Amino acid sequence: MTETLMAGLLPFEHEPYFNYADPQVAQAQREAFAQVREKYVGKTFPMIIGGKAVTSADTHDVLNPADTDEVVWRFSNASAAQRDEAIASAKAAFEDWRFSDPMQRASILKRAATLLQQRRMEFIAVMTLENGKNWAEADGEVAESVDHFEVFARETLKWAAGKPVYPMPDEHVTMTYEPLGVVACINPWNFPSAIPLGMALGAIAAGNTVIWKPASDTPLSSYLMVELLFEAGLPRNVIQFLTSADNDVLGDPLVDHPDVRMIAFTGSKAIGCRIYERAAKVQPGQRWLKRVIAEMGGKDPTIVCADTDLDVAARDIVASTFGYQGQKCSACSRVIAEDSIHDELLSKVVDLTEKLQIGLPEDNAPIGPVIHERAAEGILKYIENGKKTAKLVTGGQRAEVNGKKGGYIQPTIFADVKPTDPLFQEEIFGPVLAFTRARDWQHAIELANDSEYGLTAAFYSRDSHKISEARRLIHVGNLYINRKCTGALSGTHAFGGYGMSGTNAKVGGPDYLFWFMQTKTTAQKY
């Protein structure tokens, strides 16, 4: 059955990245920025409720992180009545969408992949203007979104086929999977395309309907993705798109609503734990136990053994620490190096870090701003406290960029960081790296596991025994051997962590859709 459904699909291949070293490609991207500025900057965008564009007199500004004096666009703030209307619309739409043909769903996602391929540079430019990613970082995310469409199209068909059971001589028994209902997707600002899309496609591919709540800092990247899905043929009432800068409207009340069957969340540990706790309470009129999936960040270590290539390790550490200013849940934030090579590795990492240029994301600078001033202030507080407890090796200050107002912070490295230090234990979500010595590689693994988080880790060694032990002992959801701990690819590196990193729902993996379904066993007597 599965083979028959999949027969019309070509073998999956990851979407290749743009080569911005090619002058023609770089010029095309510059032209895309000009077109996006002409097409979108200064406009006010609606919500989508019941398939219709809905506006509100109450709006919020979306600022360019690279120059926070620039309002790039505006979005409506939803009212409580609009929120409830959207949930009612999603509930009504579920009664049709739940019975939609899986091939129809897969075809819509395949069509969406093609449409996004045609508009990649536009989506990259939008993302850069609202969340401060440079071209390569934004391209990586949009390419991942193309992959999501392709992967989820295939997963739709696989799960529609059900699973085999052990047979009975006098019964026909099937195990099938059915959708849950209305899924609220509460999304972060750092990956405003790929993360909400992954959660929403998990819901949609399984036959659920979606309340899509983007982060208030980055709504256009999400809005354009939703409209692209509609263009690809998704019925307009399957997704309700709600925006607001007021968490009192789209925070707890959305989680608590008795008609919301499931919450899919990516964000901070504090908010994730709050959602998990509130969702556990059965509200009046609620007829189920709500399901929650949550991805809540990390404090990701890179372990470097004495037998490895230090130049390769240093290159990967810098890329995974300071790419997108460290604002990734998978970013390397701790380096744990064997004592014998610690100083040499630190020197190589510092040398590469100090060559990084800080500038405007729109100009494709390697290092840009953090998302907003609140984030910058929080990061700088960690840095100032770190100066009292560890050795500041490089960075540690704000940076100035062409007189622009934004959260520009120098890439910062601390050494002699103790395992009890907040620099070692707490997620900073910025361009800050902690170096810690280990007696040997076993001690390094112990230190790496000394964390409430367990999302990603990298382990560098040429020794097969050490690698085998690392695979067995390092307590994370995504372990990378001799490569950087960022850059998970949809369909290949199923992504989700242990511990306080979340519920381990592995987006882009072969069992992700199970989280959005319930299982039915049907036995028919002959």
Q: Which of 176, 144, 174 is nearest to 158 (CA)?
A: 176
Q: Report the distance separating Cα 24 and Cα 19, nearest Å.
A: 9
**DSSP helix/strand/coil, 218:** coil
If residue 158 lies in a helix (H) or strand (E), which one and from where to where? helix 135-160
Q: What pLDDT is attached to residue 271?
A: 97
Domain ranges in the chain with CATH number 3.40.309.10: 300-490
As given in the structure block, the two tokens for residue 336 are: 């744990």
Q: Tens digits of per-residue pLDDT, 337-389?
A: 999 999 999 999 999 999 999 999 999 999 999 999 999 999 999 999 999 99
pLDDT for 2 beyond 80: no
Q: Tens digits of per-residue pLDDT, 200-232?
A: 999 999 999 999 999 999 999 999 999 999 999
**Percentage of residues in the chain having pLDDT higher than 90:** 97
Is the distance from CB of 455 to CB of 329 less than 8 angstroms?
yes
Q: Report the distance separating Cα 323 and Cα 25, nearest Å.
A: 21
Q: Report the distance separating Cα 166 and Cα 169, nearest Å.
A: 10
pLDDT for 323 beyond 70: yes
Q: Tens digits of per-residue pLDDT, 34-57?
A: 999 999 999 999 999 999 999 999
Q: Which residues are paired to 499 by β-bridges? A: 453
Q: What pLDDT is attached to residue 5?
A: 56
pLDDT for 475 beyond 70: yes
Q: What pLDDT is attached to residue 207?
A: 98
pTM above 0.85, yes or no: yes
- Record: fold of 300-490: Aldehyde Dehydrogenase; Chain A, domain 2 (3.40.309)
Q: What pLDDT is attached to residue 265?
A: 98
Q: Which of 266, 287, 288 is nearest to 275 (CA)?
A: 266
Residue in 295, 338, 362, 427 annotated catalytic: 295
pLDDT for 66 beyond 90: yes
Is the distance from CB of 456 to CB of 483 less than 8 angstroms?
no
Give me the mean pLDDT over the 490-495 stretch.
Answer: 97
Q: Report the distance separating Cα 332 and Cα 167, nearest Å.
A: 49
Q: What pLDDT is attached to residue 180?
A: 98
Question: Is 362 among the residues known to form the active site?
Answer: no
pLDDT for 1 beyond 90: no
pLDDT for 20 beyond 60: yes
Q: Report the distance separating Cα 232 and Cα 107, nearest Å.
A: 9
Is the distance from CB of 356 to CB of 323 less than 8 angstroms?
no
pLDDT for 24 beyond 70: yes
Domain ranges in the chain with CATH number 3.40.605.10: 32-296+504-525
Is the distance from CB of 398 to CB of 416 less than 8 angstroms?
no
Give me the mean pLDDT over the 463-478 stretch.
Answer: 98
The backbone torsions φ and ψ at residue 167, rounded to the nearest 5 degrees and listed phi first, read -75, 160
Question: 10 or 441: which carries more pLDDT confidence?
Answer: 441
pLDDT for 286 beyond 60: yes
Q: What pLDDT is attached to residue 451?
A: 98
Q: What pLDDT is attached to residue 192?
A: 97
As given in the structure block, the two tokens for residue 412 are: 């910062």
pLDDT for 523 beyond 70: yes
Q: What pLDDT is attached to residue 247?
A: 87
**Does domain 32-296+504-525 bear CATH number 3.40.605.10?**
yes
SS3 sequence of 312-348: HHHHHHHHHHHHHHHCCCCCEEEEEEEHHHHHHHHHH
